[in-house]
Amino acid sequence: MKRNIIIEPDPILRKTCTPIEKVDSNVRKLMQEMLETMYAAPGIGLAAIQVGILKRLVVIDISKNKEKKEPLFLINPEILEKSENTSIYEEGCLSLPGQFAEIERPAECFLKYLDLNGNQKKLKASGLLSTCIQHEVDHLNGVLFIDYLSKLKKDMIIKKLVKHKKEIEKIIV
């Protein structure tokens, strides 16, 4: 089942998510639905908060190959270390449709998380994956990529999204 993605501005996107206490079949089912929602959008990352669930859950798939999908399920991800050197990617977000901006972040990060079986895992990420993980972990703390921009740029993007939301409502009505 696909879920509805929450679009900025929405106060839900600013909440802090709570950790998963037990990785059970409900968590696994929800993450499959998040993955389905992300693929359909399409996007390369999605946090549970973006579908209105305030839990520390993230799905990512940066593989370009549509035939062979490589999903990554991150439960309670925690970034333990970030590199000093940085990289810049043009970022977008499924909660900010049509909006993109160049964001500078640590080029590498080292994280721990639980997998779908509840096993503790560690991962060293670089390149696009590192940026994607940092973007998604930000979501779990109520942070969006536009928060790294100047107030002027951020306000401009939010204004566009408000307009976009109004247009969608018109169509629905």
Catalytic positions, written as ranges: 136
- Distance (Å, whole) CA 87 – CA 82: 12
Which distant-in-sequence residues (6+ apart) come within 8 Å of 23 by Cβ? 75, 114, 116, 117, 118
Q: Looking at beta carbons only, is 48 or 93 nearer to Zn ion?
A: 93
Using CB under 5 A as the binding criterion, the count of chain residues that bind Zn ion stands at 1
For the bound state, the minimum distance from the C-beta of residue 116 to Zn ion, rounded and expressed in Å, comes to 21
Output the CA torsion 129→118→28→42 (10° steps): 0
For the bound state, the minimum distance from the C-beta of residue 135 to Zn ion, rounded and expressed in Å, comes to 6
For the bound state, the minimum distance from the C-beta of residue 22 to Zn ion, rounded and expressed in Å, comes to 26
Here the tokens at position 13 are: 């996107």
Q: Looking at beta carbons only, is 30 or 93 nearer to Zn ion?
A: 93
For the bound state, the minimum distance from the C-beta of residue 131 to Zn ion, rounded and expressed in Å, comes to 11
Q: Looking at beta carbons only, is 57 or 93 nearer to Zn ion?
A: 93
Q: Under rule CB under 5 A, which residues in 60-99 are in contact with Zn ion?
A: 93
User: C-alpha distances in angstroms, 146 versus 22, 101, 149, 155?
Assistant: 32, 8, 5, 9
User: Would you call 45 helix, strand, or coil by DSSP?
Assistant: strand
Q: Under rule CB under 5 A, which residues in 97-126 are in contact with Zn ion?
A: none
Q: Does 5 bind Zn ion (CB under 5 A)?
A: no
Nearest to Zn ion by Cβ — which residue? Answer: 93
The secondary element (H helix, E strand) that includes residue 78 is: strand 72-82
- Distance (Å, whole) CA 42 – CA 44: 7
Q: Give residues in contact with Zn ion (CB under 5 A).
A: 93
